[in-house]
Amino acid sequence: MFLDLNCDLCPLCRGRTRVVAPSGDYSSPVVLVGEAPGEREDLSGAPFVGRAGKMLDRLLEEEGLPRGSVMITNVVKCRPPRNRRPKEDEVQACRPYLEDDLKGKMIIVCLGKTACEALLGYKVTLKEVANQTFTIALGRERIDLVPTYHPSAALRNLEAREGLRATIRLILERFPDLQG
């Protein structure tokens, strides 16, 4: 199922400016998955371009992982009102699009609790699962999943920032050819 830029599968379509499609290298073995678009993402149509995106860009650059060498997407493709967490029915409505984004990937990096819970299928305490590797099944594929902190948490919390930095290092250890 290819992303429908006129999607109306859930109520989020009524408040959006744009559907936010994935960005980066679609053929990369690595995909970073966030929660949902924010205001700047909704206006631009690209994921992680606001304050959290700037933090992500900074950490990626500092660790030597070019943003363009990975794919970046979100669990839901439309901005929830007032940037609230997406509701379960909204997550489920976007699930086919997310699964399409994940096809052929070798590692999924879940940026934040919402992305982790959507893909693991159960509640997590991020501090307890950050930077551990889990394996999930998507259709016939088995894909490694690494939970980590959302870049918005890294804006205000040094522990989250260092946890996200450690995740980037883990990606580079596993895929050194992605290094810039």
Which pTM value belongs to this model?
A: 0.96
Q: H or E stretch including 33?
A: strand 30-34
Count of other CB atoms within 10 angstroms of residue 155: 13
Query: How many domains, in total, are found in the chain?
Result: 1
Q: What is the pLDDT along the chain (180 residues), one digit of tens a residue?
A: 578 888 999 999 999 999 999 999 999 999 999 999 999 999 999 999 999 999 999 999 999 999 999 999 999 999 999 999 999 999 999 999 999 999 999 999 999 999 999 999 999 999 999 999 999 999 899 999 999 999 999 999 999 999 999 999 999 999 999 987
Residue 96 belongs to a domain with what CATH number? 3.40.470.10
- The domain of 101 spans 11-173
Does 97 map to a domain? yes
Does 2 map to a domain? no
